[in-house]
Chains A and B, each alone.
Chain A
Amino acid sequence: MAAPVRAPSTALLLATMPDEDGGCAALLPYRGSLLHHLIGQLAGLGVETVLVVTRPQWRAACALAVAEAPIRVHVADSPDLPADLAAVARLAAGRTGRLLLAPADLAVSTEALAGLLADPRVATGALIHEAVPLGAEAAPVRVARGRIVSAASAFHTAARPNAVLAGVVVLSAESAAVLARVADELSALATPPVPASWRGSWSATEHPRAVSADAVALLLVGLVRANVAVAPVSLRGFFLARPASPARARAAEHAAAAVDEDRVLLDAAVKSTDGAFTTFLVSPYSRYLARWAAHRGWTPNAVTTLSLGIGVLAAGSFAVGTRPGLVAGAVLLQAAFTADCVDGQLARYTRTFSSLGAWLDSVFDRTKEYAVYAGLAVGSSRGFGDDVWLLAAAALALQTFRHTVDFSYAGAQQLVLGTISYPPLSSAADTVVPVDGEGESGRAAPSAPAPRRPGLRAAAGRRAIAMSRTLEGRDWMRYGKKILVLPIGERFALISVTAAWSSPRKTFVALLSWGSLAAAYSLTGKTLRSVAQ
């Protein structure tokens, strides 16, 4: 059912991470070995060639582990981090296709990899994980406006992090050229003596496991500071682990086997930025409609069009101007809204994203809403003898104004993103980008890198619990704010309820008063933030 994956032709896997006993972590047992399994997954996704970079003492073992791989695999050795980076630079230079970069000691769900590689909106992107640190090797990043705007490595800190890197980075051919340049630069910088500002960083001297593992994070810092737009692709509920001992590798194997991938894929098809009404009252069942539609072979655009059709019927029912008409219109409007949620979830579930689909979805949403306003106004004149065209037009003007505020502010923020000037790679600290982060109020930020020693794991666990409590507490706030700004789900519910139980006039009065409050709130917040930035 999944759309064809635009596979990178080449994958570069870094099997340089030592396990807890000093052996090669990529060779830990995991459905064979981590390395062998990952190569099998990449082959299944259409990758043609894999280059494995490992330490000289592990080369023979790695070559043996990949001997039966279904695709071409080269194993190269490299003595240290600067040489790893130089190897990346050589491979990335003069590339014509996409390139995947990942640590080889990674146990990851195939669907998570497919999600990163298949989304056509992602030219260059990285798997990230919000909220809770993944473990010893997770480097913090900051995500804002669909971009990674700051990244950390063993030598660099991220400014105001709100997520962590989950290892895998995919690069467009153009970004691969930038990667070659930054890998060369980083290779020179990582050659001792390292820059003065790198020496004080959190793990450079104390945690050799982190340093040798961190080439991907280091390269991500290079890409971000070279102003490459790296899209964050959230891991959502998919499985990912970087086991550091045979016992943990076996535990990861069991944990991965216990995950229902289709279930996670379906859950991940639900947008995380939806409002409260959509999240709690529509998505819990609309995702099953999306799966049903996928199995029937329906396209997202067909469902979008169906949603418009139902919306127009709702407008027609409202226009009848009788109580049954209003009630039928209210029910149909909710049906249209459900179909509207299904189309996006179907697109994400089947990974069929098209420009036209995105445009239709947005334009039809507006068309439905304003057709319903007109239907209500017609019905009010016909059935209730009450001319409410002034209110209807005012509600349309107010809603358009509110959307324009959002569009314009988002445009201004993108403009800021286009003109960031980052510090050079020799500097450990990063600049704070004056752009709002995603879900800023809702997601706990792993503000410091995770502790790296086993003795500190308990502390990490306690912190994770504290963090999730904060998260729950803040979720209420987040959804409270979302309800206040009257997003589409709440708006359509308000229309249905007031129209069915009261009158079109009341519907418009409700839309106008709540909408004005929402406009004032959002306008004040955005203005204050622009002044503060």
Chain B
Amino acid sequence: MSAGSALVDYRDDGPVAVLVAAMTERLAGGPRPDPALLTVAGVVPVAVVAALPGGGPPALLGAGFGWLVLSAGAGAVGPLTARLDWLVPPLLRTVEYGLLLRLAGLNSGGLAGCYALLAAVAYHHYDVVYRIRTRRSAPPRWLQMAGGGWDGRLLAGYALFRAGRLAPGLKVGAGLLGGLFATESVRSWLPHRRDQQLAPYQDDEADEE
């Protein structure tokens, strides 16, 4: 597992982003689009609209969500090897957590549920990093797809918001995703309980805490 692919795992793309990336590749051909630029281009419009009072006109906000998934999703398959490509995972994290929180804030009473959902998603995001670090292998692909990815969770969140079902949706989502991520993560350790810490010793803890 090279670090380049670890950065791709940190993105946490769901089925929609992967589909968008595959279609972009087929349509565009030619040189790969720059994933960092695509992400910034996707994030800025929706961030501006969401920052408007009341989250802006609902249709415009919806367009922002759609554009985000199309633009940032288009870079989903490419390797993250250019100088500033490491900014992509933190950007995707910001836009996902930030928009879900914004939607929950617009929707009275959904904030505790939103906290629970973000905690469940954050568990998964940390688990990806720590498993790559300690076992040299990322969680399986099916889990990433089943979790919906940043794209799937954002689209589902927006749909629930428009349907006026965001508050219960966040609670149910937190329960389902938390259960899924935690169960898979604990089960994955069963055959590795006694492993010694092998593999090259990478002291990037220094950076972290």
- Give chain A's interface residues, CB within 8 Å of chain B: 119-123, 125, 145-147, 229, 231, 271, 273, 275, 353-359, 362-363, 365-367, 370, 373-374, 377, 387, 389-390, 392-394, 396-397, 400-401, 403-415, 417-418, 438-439, 487-488, 523, 526-527, 530-531, 533
Contact yes or no, A119 B201, CB < 8 A: yes
**How far is it, in angstroms, between the C-alpha of A354 and the C-alpha of B118 when the chains are bound?**
29
For the complex with contacts A120-B196, A231-B201, A355-B134, 11 further pairs of A-B residues with Cβ separation under 8 Å are A146-B204, A355-B192, A355-B197, A389-B114, A389-B115, A393-B118, A397-B93, A405-B90, A407-B89, A412-B3, A412-B85
B6 within 8 A of A: yes
Contact yes or no, B201 A358, CB < 8 A: no
Residues of B within 8 A of A488 (CB): 209
Contact sample, A vs B, 6 pairs, CB 8 Å cutoff: A231-B200, A355-B197, A358-B130, A358-B197, A406-B204, A415-B81
Contact yes or no, B206 A387, CB < 8 A: no
Given the known A-B contacts A229-B200, A355-B195, A358-B197, are A275 and B209 also in contact in the complex, defined by CB atoms under 8 Å? Answer: yes
Q: Which residue of A lies closest to B10 (CB)?
A: A408
Contact yes or no, A394 B101, CB < 8 A: yes
B21 → A minimal CB distance (Å): 19
Residues of A within 8 A of B163 (CB): none
A-B contact count (CB 8 A): 192
Contact yes or no, B111 A387, CB < 8 A: yes
**How far is it, in angstroms, between the C-alpha of A466 and the C-alpha of B18 when the chains are bound?**
57
Residues of A within 8 A of B196 (CB): 120, 353-355
Contact yes or no, B198 A527, CB < 8 A: no
A275 → B minimal CB distance (Å): 7
Given the known A-B contacts A354-B194, A356-B192, A406-B208, are A400 and B7 also in contact in the complex, defined by CB atoms under 8 Å? Answer: no
Contact yes or no, B134 A407, CB < 8 A: no
Contact yes or no, B98 A397, CB < 8 A: yes
Which of the segments B40-48, B66-74, B121-129 contacts the partner chain? B121-129
Given the known A-B contacts A122-B201, A387-B111, A404-B89, are A396 and B118 also in contact in the complex, defined by CB atoms under 8 Å? Answer: yes
Closest A-B pairs by Cβ, 8 of them:
A414-B3, A389-B111, A146-B203, A410-B204, A121-B201, A397-B97, A412-B86, A120-B196
Residues of B within 8 A of A373 (CB): 115
Residues of B within 8 A of A411 (CB): 3-4, 6-7, 10, 86
Contact yes or no, B203 A389, CB < 8 A: no
Given the known A-B contacts A354-B196, A356-B195, A358-B134, are A363 and B126 also in contact in the complex, defined by CB atoms under 8 Å? Answer: yes
Given the known A-B contacts A355-B135, A406-B207, are A393 and B93 also in contact in the complex, defined by CB atoms under 8 Å? Answer: no
Contact yes or no, A123 B94, CB < 8 A: no
> Out of A353, A401, A527, A533, which one reaches B197, CB within 8 Å?
A353
**How far is it, in angstroms, between the C-alpha of A353 and the C-alpha of B196 when the chains are bound?**
6
Contact yes or no, B125 A400, CB < 8 A: yes
Given the known A-B contacts A147-B200, A356-B189, A527-B87, are A418 and B2 also in contact in the complex, defined by CB atoms under 8 Å? Answer: yes
Q: Which residue of A lies closest to B88 (CB)?
A: A408
Q: Which of B6, B129, B202 has the most CB of A within 10 A?
A: B202
**How far is it, in angstroms, between the C-alpha of A415 and the C-alpha of B122 when the chains are bound?**
24
Q: Which residue of B lies closest to A371 (CB)?
A: B119
Contact yes or no, A393 B115, CB < 8 A: yes
Contact yes or no, B118 A407, CB < 8 A: no
B171 → A minimal CB distance (Å): 13
> Out of B80, B88, B115, B194, which one reaches A392, CB within 8 Å?
B115
Contact yes or no, A359 B130, CB < 8 A: yes
Residues of B within 8 A of A410 (CB): 202, 204, 207-208
**How far is it, in angstroms, between the C-alpha of A387 and the C-alpha of B108 when the chains are bound?**
12
Contact yes or no, B201 A408, CB < 8 A: no
Contact yes or no, A415 B119, CB < 8 A: no
B125 → A minimal CB distance (Å): 7
> Out of B116, B122, B193, which one reaches A356, CB within 8 Å?
B193
Contact yes or no, A401 B207, CB < 8 A: no
Contact yes or no, B86 A400, CB < 8 A: no
Q: Which residue of A lies closest to B205 (CB)?
A: A273
Contact yes or no, A146 B130, CB < 8 A: no
Q: Which residue of B lies closest to A6 (CB)?
A: B196
Contact yes or no, B112 A377, CB < 8 A: yes
Given the known A-B contacts A389-B111, A408-B90, are A370 and B134 also in contact in the complex, defined by CB atoms under 8 Å? Answer: no
**How far is it, in angstroms, between the C-alpha of A271 and the C-alpha of B84 when the chains are bound?**
30
Contact yes or no, B87 A408, CB < 8 A: yes
B105 within 8 A of A: yes
B40 → A minimal CB distance (Å): 13
